[in-house]
Amino acid sequence: MMDYADARTMMVDTQIRTESVTDYDVIRAMSEVPRERFVPARAKPFAYTDADIVVKDDGDRRCMMRPATLARLIQAAEIAPSDFVLVIGSASGYSAAVIAGLATSVIALESDEQLAGEASTTLMDLGIGNVAGVTGPLDAGYASEGPYDVIFLDGSVEEVPDGLFAQLKEEGRLVAIVGHGRASPAMVFTRTDDDIGSRPVFDAFAPPLPGFAKPKAFVF
């Protein structure tokens, strides 16, 4: 039988620490959350591999982000213990569980009701009580509980809707991988005096989130 604790330690030591993840709290959170609890039964032997993992393949294909990419994106968000975080596209709930170990509270938004229900059950079983799961269209965010210190997009998008920036607090950060190529920029957007600044932090691939396609331009 596979020793998941050993596999988790190996993941952190060989995948995360080696890819410029130096924030102790991020490393600690990734070390504590049992990733195998958030994947389908068929995928449990692969829970700690250096790869994205499909958690749902009918309808909109949904995945868990590669561990190192997730850790680097969380590190870029610079989540403080007092922060209120919105995770968009939380799928099976793994990213929300990791972020819950860094923030005071987390809203996990998911459009797929089945995934949202399964995630809530897993989080409850693990005793992670500072995550609230909600359902709704991902591109709309969840304004009724905002504004947020951090908005975390758990997957790549073609563009970030302006409505999400409006749900950030002053000095709030939104992190996302923008683009669907093999080396798209991971971006940190910061709200300051109603202006949105942006900076790229690294290049990566992440599975796309549904609902964030750019409108097709009319061509004469």
Whole-number pLDDT of residue 217: 56
pLDDT in tens, 68-113: 999 999 999 999 999 999 999 999 999 999 999 999 999 999 999 9
pLDDT in tens, 27-69: 999 999 999 999 999 999 999 999 999 999 877 789 999 999 9
pLDDT in tens, 172-202: 999 999 997 778 999 999 999 889 999 999 9
Read off the pLDDT of each residue in 209-219 and give the average, rounded to a whole number. Answer: 74
Report residue 68 as tokens. Answer: 């190192």
